[in-house]
Amino acid sequence: MHIYELPTPAVLVDLNKLENNVRRAADLARKYNKKLWPMVKTHKSLYIAKLQKEYGAEGFLCGTLDEAEALVEAGLSKNLMLGYPIVDKENLLRVIKLVENGARVILRVDSVASAELIDKTLTQHNVVVDYVVKVDVGQNRLGVKPEKIVDFVKSLSRFRSLKFVGIATHPGHAYRALNAEEVRKVAKDVALKFENVVKSLRDAGYELEFIGTGSTPTFRFDVNEPIYTHLFPGNYVYYDRIQALVFGSAELNDCALTVLATVISIPEHSEGRLAVINAGSKTLSVDRGAHGIESIKGYGHIVEHPKTTIVSLSEEIGVVDISTDPTVKVGEKVNIIPNHSCIVSNATSYLIAHRNARVMKLIKVDMRNNVKTPEIISSLQFL
Ligand SMILES: Cc1ncc(COP(=O)(O)O)c(C=O)c1O
């Protein structure tokens, strides 16, 4: 079946591009002797995690415990790091269960108060868990400031159930960059900060197994920084319009995920200037850059009509300015490269995989939040 024979809207994945993206990043990591632990929150798909593993991923960074549990349950990995601090008892019990089942789960910690909560629960269960310090390298979200890390690690030494194994960050402020050169500068600045932190930790007698950073915009620069042992990019499996047009992480032609939509109207009032498609914010998302990028016009790139602009989105439909391209026709199907692919793939239960526009198979998005009920509420019935 050709992709244009599919009902719309549909989220498609070009398998050739997906495999190429996964392989390229893995090759690059291997070439520079970095361990690749991809962030799985991008795709939340066991199939794609398996592909990453086949190409050499040695572990995974998880955005949620649902992802961690799914990876372990599927037998895909026992090396997991959680991207964000976990402090509540109910979720810590899930971590403990994973550890008791033989997984290595590494926590990210960035405050003494949360370390205290974690340590209390772990001690009650007689479990010791490894942690890395989450470093704030400029995003000003989570994390300990670089100059405070040594004191921070020292202050955690009284927590006997937490074992220090390194430092990690997500340079999310790279997403505020307006071009590839600015991304390069962020990557360099973060690497220099890490060099200083690692030196001061080593001078204080600490050994570090993990010295890691992870983001798709900075990945191609990070591989070349000797300081890192581990890299945690996520978005690179698909890339998207922002990665291609703003950060230069890839070409538009590398973007593996598209939304297939139908032109459902060219409303008469617009006198041929506007078209309406059956994909809106619930499919494409209103994301125009995670941290306020103003340089990206519209809500996606229409592959078949690159001169047009998706100017607004309602929930289920979108409006396209076609004054630059009068060839757009009602009933036509179009592929849209979304601004931010991670959000699009999280809004669908399956992806339709194709090769050269020939539909092949479905890929489950089976690690999404709430796909499985956690054990603590699993006895509740659905109404
Ligand atoms: C903590 C953390 N690490 C890694 C990543 C991966 O970054 P990217 O999506 O740019 O590849 C993210 C993404 O948001 C993240 O939040």
Question: Over 80: is that where the pLDDT of 293 sits?
Answer: no
Tell me the CA–centroid distance for residue 233 and ligand 1, in Å: 6
Residue 188 DSSP label:
H
DSSP letters, 100-128, are HTT-EEEEEE--HHHHHHHHHHHHHTT--
Residue 213, beta-bridge partner list = 169, 231
Distance, CA of 137 to CA of 95 (rounded, Å):
27
List phi, psi (to 5°) of 340: -135, 105
Please tell me the predicted confidence (pLDDT) of residue 291: 58
Please tell me the predicted confidence (pLDDT) of residue 378: 84
List phi, psi (to 5°) of 109: -125, 140
DSSP letters, 285-317, are -S-S-TT---S--SSEEETT-TT-EEEEE-SS-
Question: Over the Cα atoms of the chain, what is R_g?
Answer: 22
Tell me the CA–centroid distance for residue 356 and ligand 1, in Å: 29
Instruction: Please compute the mean of the pLDDT values over residues 24-43 and round it to a whole number.
Output: 98
The residue whose CA is least distant from atom 7 of ligand 1 is: 215
Phi/psi region, residue 266 (left: phi>0; alpha: psi -120 to 50; beta: rest), is beta
Read off the pLDDT band of 289 (50, 70, 90).
confident
- Burial label for 253, CB within 10 Å (0-12, 13-18, 19+), is exposed
Residue 197 DSSP label:
H
Residues whose beta carbon lies within 6 Å of some atom of ligand 1: 39, 42, 61, 83, 170, 214-216, 232-236
pLDDT tens track for 218-271? 999 999 999 999 999 999 999 999 999 999 999 999 999 999 999 999 999 999
Distance, CA of 270 to CA of 317 (rounded, Å):
16
Instruction: Please compute the mean of the pLDDT values over residues 112-121 and round it to a whole number.
Output: 97
Question: Over 60: is that where the pLDDT of 149 sits?
Answer: yes
Distance, CA of 93 to CA of 56 (rounded, Å):
30
Tell me the CB-side half-sphere exposure of residue 225, using CA atoms within 13 A: 26
Read off the pLDDT band of 288 (50, 70, 90).
confident
Amino acid at 6: L
Residues 6+ apart with CB under 8 A from 254: 17, 20, 21, 239, 244
Read off the pLDDT band of 294 (50, 70, 90).
low
Instruction: Please compute the mean of the pLDDT values over residues 19-46 and round it to a whole number.
Output: 98
pLDDT tens track for 44-81? 999 999 999 999 999 999 999 999 999 999 999 999 99
Instruction: Please compute the mean of the pLDDT values over residues 125-141 and round it to a whole number.
Output: 95
Tell me the CA–centroid distance for residue 170 and ligand 1, in Å: 6
Q: Read off the tokens for 263.
A: 């032109």
Instruction: Please compute the mean of the pLDDT values over residues 304-323 and round it to a whole number.
Output: 97
Tell me the CA–centroid distance for residue 168 and ligand 1, in Å: 11
Mutate to test the pocket of ligand 1, among 64, 107, 235, 287 (most ligand atoms within 8 A of CB): 235
Question: Over 70: is that where the pLDDT of 292 sits?
Answer: no
Ligand 1 atom nearest to CA at 217: 10
Please tell me the predicted confidence (pLDDT) of residue 332: 98
The residue whose CA is least distant from atom 16 of ligand 1 is: 170
Share of the chain above pLDDT 70, in %: 98
Residues 6+ apart with CB under 8 A from 242: 288, 289, 293, 296, 339, 340
Tell me the CA–centroid distance for residue 290 and ligand 1, in Å: 11
Other beta carbons within 10 angstroms of residue 333's beta carbon come to 20
Read off the pLDDT band of 31 (50, 70, 90).
very high
List phi, psi (to 5°) of 204: -85, 0
Domains of the chain: 3-9+250-364 (2.40.37.20), 15-240 (3.20.20.10)
Instruction: Please compute the mean of the pLDDT values over residues 332-354 and round it to a whole number.
Output: 96
